[in-house]
Every structure is written in structure tokens, then in C-alpha cells.
Amino acid sequence: MANPIIQRELISVLRQRRTVVVQCVLAVCFVLLIAIRWPTEPRVALSGVRSQEVFRLFAYGLLATVLLLLPVAPATSIVRERTRGTLALLLNTPLASWQIYCGKFLATIGLAGQLLILSLPAAAACYALGGIYPGDILATYVILVLTVFLITSCSLLVSTYSVSSDSAVRWSYGLILTISVLTVLPHYLLLGTGGLTGTIISWMRSLSPISAMMSLHGAADLGSAGLATTENIVLRFSVITSIGLIVTSLWTIRRLDFGLIDAARDTGMIVDDQSLGVRSLRRAFFIIDPKRRSGYIGRFTNPVMVKEFRCRKFGRLHWLLRLVAVCGIISLALTILTTTQTVSWDVASVGGIMVVLQVALIVLITPSLAAGLIATERETGGWVLLQSTPMSVWQVVWGKILSVVLTLGLILLATLPGYMVMVVIDPGQWFQVRRVMICLLMTALFVMLCSAAVGSFFRKTISATTTAYAVVLSVCAAPLLIWLGRGAPFGHGTVEKALLINPIAAGFSVIRVPGFAEYNLVPANWWILGVGSILFLLLLAWQTHRVSRPQ
Amino acid sequence: MSSTRNSSTTSNPVVVIRHLTKKFGDFTALDDLNLTLNAGQILGLIGPNGAGKTTAIKVLVGLSRPTSGTATIAGVDCVTESKRIKHLVGYMPDKFGSYDNMRVREYLDFFGAAFQIPKKERIRRIDEVMEMTGVSYMRDRYVDALSHGMAQKVGIARILLHNPEMLILDEPANGLDPQARIEMRELLLSLARMGKTLLVTSHILPELSRICDQVAILTNGKLRAHGTVKEISQQVTQQRTIEVQLTTGEYVSAAAKILTEVLPLGEITESTAEAIVRFRTDRAEEALVQILKKLTDASIPVAQFRELQTDLEEAFMSFARPQKEAEGAPSMTRTEA
């Protein structure tokens, strides 16, 4: 192998026992996916509808797997080199920046490639079922390959800007979510808008691989509200992705030099020592200046909670204020829009969008806050220091959980004004809003305890965060995949059962979002999430006790 | 240095370890360890990697439960009263344990609050320990941006916050530059002068020999030697190190060959660049005279033939060597320095 980075990052990974296990699990999953939906009736559907249904589900499943599993490897690829100090060694070799980039890019592509290759027998089985053209299979794989390219190049770029592996993973998932789902939102909100805005929105939607896949496999695509589209989304997606790939690759290659590691230590500027002018300016900008000299920890405050707020970016007050302000503005803006455009939007649609935004915030932020509660301390050596203080381990964990609860609470509270305005517009919504708030609270609780419990089993923050994201996103995304196959191949009962564990779907069904209104998910969903939360809490307690007891 | 501290050193034992054994499955990390350390003394705990130093420390700070035996600090049992032990002991592990985005003052404030020091007293205490350790000027720096030497000082400031009777420091001088090592040494001595009892592990043995009242050598979980540096050095003087300085490096190999014939089991080290051959032996003076005669008879131009003073490093090596050999490391009877 000419490029040593490929040798190290691909070949060595492929030789690991863990990789073999993952390959076997994936192969079994693909086989099961097909086998479960394989027709068992003695009759043959000549139209090929059945095989198309199976293939559609298979394609969505494969896309979801790529979107959920792939970002981790490229996102941590460069930032890990930097934090370990091996980036300096790499840049000191005769390898050019583009060679380093190609090595990392191709290594990730190789890993994704084996995933796609593993899926080929299942795709062939769908083809053997009849009713599917080779062109459909080819187009499906083209979309998947382009998605892999896009995710890899974007995540590598994020990696060059990140200071830690977990922040790289967080931002990469955020970016992928934005590209895949949020780009479709304007199209959904402003459906039917013409002119330049309409063109921009239409092209924006074409950035989403989900949109492209749905366009290929269904009559309607994501955000089209059931309307057939005349635009060639797949072609547009291919064009945009190719351009995106070139731009992000060149950008990343440009950043791959000594500038990445040539940073002076932060001198720790304190604004209290600056002139009145500087202080006033910064005060106006930040409201609460992050560089001010903070106060001492109060007598009745849990010191671990204060420490958590101080040592994470989103814990600093100026960031929390920004986040809360953005949430508040978006939710209010959406609600006000309802009053001006009631013709195209009803309250349920706006409520649905708000639920999506809130759940997206919860799902994106919570694992990164909660997964590393114990893992980060163990990785940095802080766990031993905390154990050598008179604080009990329960005080420590409680302080940490409290810091997550308060952050999430602030974010959820920030969106309340939007709901309040909605209730003022339509007082009949009060019942639904109350139920939605319960759904969101249950979601936040479940995601937090799930992330904390899963993360506590790891020694490294990156492993804890990644696994927590994978578990949470699976719980949120997998039932939605089944929902996509509602009517065919899945019946109403199957979809409802699958959605029962999904926190997003419960919120949607309560607010009567089209497509979810026909499912009766609460209070069963609350019970399931509640019991799940208690189980995760017990798991967290057990693991905390295990890692804190004297060896 | 020791004489200036003798006033604060008392015969009152602070640390008492009796028959301490710790097993992990079949592996014995600590094997019947017995140690006593008086108030105001500095004990240097040395041993090769995996000797059991950190295990012993972890038992003392209540992070590990021994299989058998007891350990007390100021009369408090390290196993059954681990909460009280935390107030008595300041523990600095070999890993600093930094937090992102946290300034030195905030870091100390956090640990002060974790030790339940009231706010008013904490504010005063933070200033005191920063002054004591010389980190006042970096109070607003971020802990994750500190150099290693600075971080070690902040680490010591941290363990002084709750004013413990005893300080346990795991490899405090590890990775420090010479200047920082001197500062660290001065700091530890000043703490001992204040009446603190210190247990220090280090691989930089000259550092320990300069500051420690007592040294304990651990290998394979067993205590091989315990006493002052002088006492331990005397224990190993049966094995003397003789240095033969030649006028030119070209005779080094020839000299080493003769020595190998005379001392087939002796450890011989040669350095052509320095024109020196060293060997270790337990032979008496008469035998050494014979060896010198053999060298001169073979026309080896000997400039000096002298015995090297046994220091802590030598002592450590003499105890650590049998362990290495037991582990299967090649027994180097003749090495190139």
C-alpha cells in the first residue's frame, strides 16, 4: 500500500476482531431485513410492488446506517492525531497535506465501502424477487456512495477545527443532521413559494440524501407533503454533493499544515484587569462576560455542578444565554408566522416543527453533555482526585446530573413562549401543549439517563459519546424507518408498536402532525420511556458504585 | 538540609503499615509490607515499574482495599475509615487531572469546596497555598494550558488546601526540567519544615537522596530495604563498583577481556569514548591488587583504579537487578556504555 495512512487506518482496523464482529452483525442485519419481509404466500406479485417495498426499506435502512455510523471515524481522525501529538510527527514526514488527506479520506471510504459491499447480497436478493430494475439498484448505491463522500469530507473538515474528539463527533452529527433533515425544513414550511426563494429552497432540499433517496424510491419526497415532484432531486443531489466534496476537500487540505498545532497557550486574559471601555464593549457583546473573574462556590452549592458548568463550553453563561435566546426567538418566530400564514400552516404543523427542533436539540446536545459524566473524569485523571475528596460518589454524580438537567431545562423553558403564543391563538391547543411538554420532559429524561448510563461503561470520552449517540439516534431513527414503510410493507399495528419507544413520534402524535395523528402513542410511550429511564438510572448507579469502590 | 528540618521531625509515628498484602487474583502486588514513618519525615518510595509503589499509595489513600494487613495514618485506619483519611491526607497522583476552560483559582476553589472548606476560609486558604507554592502569578491561567512544572505546583497547592497532616506525592518530579526539579525539591523541603509528613515516589533517585530522611526500596511487591540513604548504601557495599580509567580508549576492549577472564560472573561495563571500564565485585582488597597487576602486566595503560561511592542509584540497581533477571531479562555481564 503506497499511502502509509491507509495501511494504518484501514488495514489495521480491518484486522481487528471487533471489525469482524461488526461485519458479521451487519451482514446478519441485512439478511434479517430481507428475510422478514420476504413474501411467504404461494402467489407471485407480477407487478413487483412487494419487492419494491422490501427494497425501499432496505435502502432506507442502509442510508440510516451510513448516516448514523459513518461520521465518527472521520470526525475523530484528525483531532485525535492532534491531541495525541502524532499530527506533528505526520506533518514532519515527507507526506504532503493532500496525501495525508487522501490517506484519511480513502481509509474512511474503505470502511464504508465494506459496509456497502456487505449489503450487496441483500440487494441482489431484492433484485431476484423481481420488479426492480438494475438502474434502481445502481442509483441507490450512487446516492449511498455520494452520501459517504459528503459525510467523510465534511467530518474531516470539522475535525480540523475541533479541539477534542467528542466536540468533533458532536459537531459532525450536528452537521449531518442539518444537511439531512434541516435543509428540507424550508421546503416543508414554504411549500409552493415561487421565484428566487422557491428555487433556493428547492436546491437546498436537494442537499439532503434522505430527500434524494425518497425521491428515488417513492412518489413523494421528504417535505413535499405528499405532492409528486417534477424536479430531478437525485441529479441535483449528485451535483451539489460533488461540488461540496471538492470544496470541503480543498478546504481541509489547506488547513492540514503546522498552523493546526502552532497555537500559543492561552494566557488567561481577565476582563476585570482591562480598561473600562473594553469591559463595557465586551459586556454589551456577551452580557455575561466569559472572561470575567468568577465568584467563589457558595456554601450550599454542589461544587461538582459548578465545576461542570465552568469547564464545558455550553455551561458558560454567555453560551447558555445565546442558546436560550436562539430557542426563544425561533419558537416565537414560528408561532408568529402561524398567525400570518394560517392558510398554508395550521397550528399542528407549527407545533410539529417546534417538536422537531426541540427533540433535535435534546438529541444533539444531551449525549454530549451526559455521556462523559464519568468517562471524562476517568480519562483525565479527575476521578481519582474526586475520590480523594470527602465528597461521596453520589454527590459527585448528582452534581453532574444536575448540571445536565439545568441546561436542558433552560433550553426547554426557552421554547415555552412559542407554545404559550400558540395557546393564546388557539386555546383549544392547551391540552395538546401540556401533553407535548410531558413528552419532551420524558424525552429529555430518557436521553439523559440513557447517555449517562451507556457512557459510564467507557474509560474514554470519545467512546462514551459515540456509543451514547449511536444508541440515542437508533432509538429515535429506527422506529421512524419503520414508519416510512407504513402501509407497505408494515401495517398500522406494527408501526404503532415500533413508534411506542420513539420519543419524537409521541410528540408528533400528540400535536396531531400529519402522518402521526392516526397513532395512539401516549400514555404508553410515557410508561415505556419512564421505565426505561428508571432502568438506565439503576444501571448508572450500579456502574458508578462499581468504578468508585476500592479495588 | 536534613539538619535544618530535624527540629520538626519527631519520633511520633504517623504512618504505620503492618503486614500489608494486596493480591489481584494470582498476582501479588504487595507482599507483607511493613513500614513506619514519623511525623515531619520524608519517605522516598522507590522501585522499578510494577514494584507495587502505586498500589501501596492507593491503599494508604483509601482507593484500594488490601487483601490482608493494616495501614494507619495518624492512628486512623486507611481501609475502614477512608472518609477521615481523606481529611488527613493530600494525595497528588502522577496524572495531574486538569479540567478544560478552568482557571487555576477556579480549580483550587472547586477542590476547596469539595473538601467542604467554608467559603471565607477557602478564599484565604487559596491565597495562602498559592503564595506558598509560588503560583499566585498564574491564578487566572487556564489549568489545561499550564506547563508540566506549573501544573505540578498547582497540584501541590491543591493538596495543601485542606491542610492535611500527610502528603503523598506520586512521581512529583517526573518530566520536570532541572530548574523546575530544584524548585520542586525546595518546595517539598519547605513543606517538611512546616511539619508535614511526606511520602514521595520518584524515579529520579538523586532527587530523593537529597531530600529524603528515609528510603524504602520495593521490588515485586516486597520491601527489599528500608532506612536512611546511608544505611541502605551500606547494605550494598559488599558489591563494590571499581572504575578503571585508561589513558586511551583503544585499550578498553583488551582491558574488558582480561577482566572477564578474572571475573567471569562480574558485571563489566565499558565506555570507549570515556576510556573507562567499570566492574562490580565483592572481592577483597588483595584480589583487586591482583586484578590491577594483571592489567598492568598486559601493558594496559591504567591512569586510575578507584572504587566508586555507592549512591542511591547503585543501591536501587543492586536490588532491582535480581528482579529483572528473575523476569527473564538477559543478564548482561559485559555491556557497552
Give me the pLDDT at residue A253, please.
Answer: 93
Residue of A224, A81, A139 lying closest to A515 (CA atoms): A224
Question: Which chain B residue's Cα is nearest to A396?
Answer: B114
CA distance A458 to A370: 13
Contact between B146 and B138 under an 8 Å Cβ cutoff? The reply is yes
Mark yes or no for CB contact B89/A380 under 8 Å: no
Using CA atoms, how far residue A494 sits from A120, A134, A471, A474, in Å, is: 27, 30, 21, 17
Please name each of the domains of chain B with its CATH number.
2-227 (3.40.50.300), 240-336 (3.30.70.100)
Number of domains in chain A: 2
Mark yes or no for CB contact B141/A307 under 8 Å: no
Mark yes or no for CB contact A550/B82 under 8 Å: yes
Question: Which chain A residue's Cα is nearest to B25?
Answer: A551
Nearest-Cα distance to chain A for B142, in Å, is 6
CA distance A232 to A25: 35
Contact between A279 and A184 under an 8 Å Cβ cutoff? The reply is no
Query: Going by C-beta distance under 8 Å and a sequence separation of 6 or more, which residues neighbour residue A258?
Result: A88, A91
Which residues does A contribute to its contact with B (CB < 8 Å)?
Answer: 164, 265-270, 293-294, 296-299, 301, 303-304, 306-307, 310-313, 316, 380-382, 384-391, 550-551
Give me the pLDDT at residue A446, please.
Answer: 93
Give me the pLDDT at residue A46, please.
Answer: 57
Mark yes or no for CB contact B122/A387 under 8 Å: no
Nearest-Cα distance to chain A for B72, in Å, is 16
Chain A residues with CB under 8 Å of B118 CB are 299
With cell 494525595, the residue in question is B91
**Which of B79, B110, B126 is the mutation pick for testing A, counting most A CBs within 10 A?**
B110
B305 and A CB contact within 8 Å: no
Mark yes or no for CB contact A385/B83 under 8 Å: no
Question: Which chain A residue's Cα is nearest to B164?
Answer: A389
Mark yes or no for CB contact B63/A385 under 8 Å: no
Q: Is residue A226 part of a domain?
A: no
Q: Is residue A60 part of a domain?
A: yes
**In the A/B pair of chains, how many CB contacts fall below 8 A?**
107
The string of pLDDT tens digits covering residues B31-53 is 899 999 988 889 998 888 888 88
Give me the pLDDT at residue B238, please.
Answer: 61
Range of the domain at A78: 4-183
**Which of B60, B65, B106, B123 is the mutation pick for testing A, counting most A CBs within 10 A?**
B106
CB-nearest to A387 from B63, B99, B118 is: B63
Mark yes or no for CB contact A307/B110 under 8 Å: yes
Residue of B270, B246, B284 lying closest to B333 (CA atoms): B270
Cβ atoms within 10 Å, residue B269 = 18
Give me the pLDDT at residue B158, please.
Answer: 92
Chain A residues with CB under 8 Å of B67 CB are none
Question: Which chain B residue's Cα is nearest to A301?
Answer: B113
Chain A residues with CB under 8 Å of B106 CB are 294, 310
Mark yes or no for CB contact A388/B87 under 8 Å: no
Mark yes or no for CB contact A391/B114 under 8 Å: yes
Q: Is residue A288 part of a domain?
A: no
Question: Which chain B residue's Cα is nearest to A549?
Answer: B63
Chain B residues with CB under 8 Å of A389 CB are 86, 111, 114-115
The CB-based long-range contact list for B281-287 (8 Å cut-off, 24+ gap) reads B281/B239, B281/B240, B281/B242, B282/B238, B282/B239, B282/B240
Q: Is residue A283 part of a domain?
A: no
Mark yes or no for CB contact B142/A382 under 8 Å: no
Nearest-Cα distance to chain B for A121, in Å, is 47
Mark yes or no for CB contact A550/B63 under 8 Å: yes
The string of pLDDT tens digits covering residues B179-238 is 888 888 888 888 888 888 999 987 767 777 778 888 888 888 888 888 887 777 766 556
B23 and A CB contact within 8 Å: no
Q: Is residue A467 part of a domain?
A: yes
Q: Is residue A197 part of a domain?
A: no
Mark yes or no for CB contact A311/B102 under 8 Å: yes
Q: Over its length of 551 residues, how does chain A's per-residue pLDDT go in tens digits? A: 567 888 888 887 788 787 888 888 888 887 777 777 666 666 555 566 777 777 887 888 888 888 888 888 899 889 988 888 888 888 888 888 899 999 999 999 998 898 888 888 888 888 887 778 888 889 999 999 999 999 999 999 999 998 888 788 888 988 988 888 878 877 766 666 677 777 888 888 888 898 888 888 764 555 555 555 667 888 889 999 999 999 999 999 999 887 777 776 666 778 888 888 888 888 777 777 778 888 888 888 899 998 888 887 665 667 777 777 777 777 777 777 666 655 456 666 677 777 877 887 888 888 888 988 898 888 888 888 898 888 888 899 999 999 999 888 887 887 777 777 777 777 877 888 888 889 889 999 999 999 999 999 998 888 888 889 888 888 887 888 788 777 766 788 888 888 888 888 888 888 777 778 888 888 899 999 999 999 999 999 999 988 888 77
Give the end of a domain, one of A158, A183, A208. Answer: A183
Mark yes or no for CB contact A381/B122 under 8 Å: no
C-alpha cell of A331?
419558537
Give the end of a domain, one of A121, A155, A183. Answer: A183
* DSSP string covering B137-204: GGTTSBGGG--HHHHHHHHHHHHHTT--SEEEEESTTTT--HHHHHHHHHHHHHHHHTT-EEEEE-S-
B127 and A CB contact within 8 Å: no
Positions of chain B with pLDDT lower than 50, given as ranges: 1-4, 7, 329-337
C-alpha cell of B86?
481523606
CA distance A446 to A164: 26
Give me the pLDDT at residue B313, please.
Answer: 67
Give me the pLDDT at residue A147, please.
Answer: 94
Residue of A76, A105, A108, A173 lying closest to A462 (CA atoms): A76
C-alpha cell of A338?
402561524
CB-nearest to A299 from B99, B102, B118 is: B118
User: Parallel, antiparallel, or unpaired for β B334-336 and B267-271?
Assistant: parallel
Question: Which chain A residue's Cα is nearest to B122?
Answer: A296
Q: Is residue A230 part of a domain?
A: no
Give the end of a domain, one of A183, A216, A244. Answer: A183
B137 and A CB contact within 8 Å: no
Give me the pLDDT at residue B333, please.
Answer: 37
Cβ atoms within 10 Å, residue A35 = 12
Q: Is residue A147 part of a domain?
A: yes
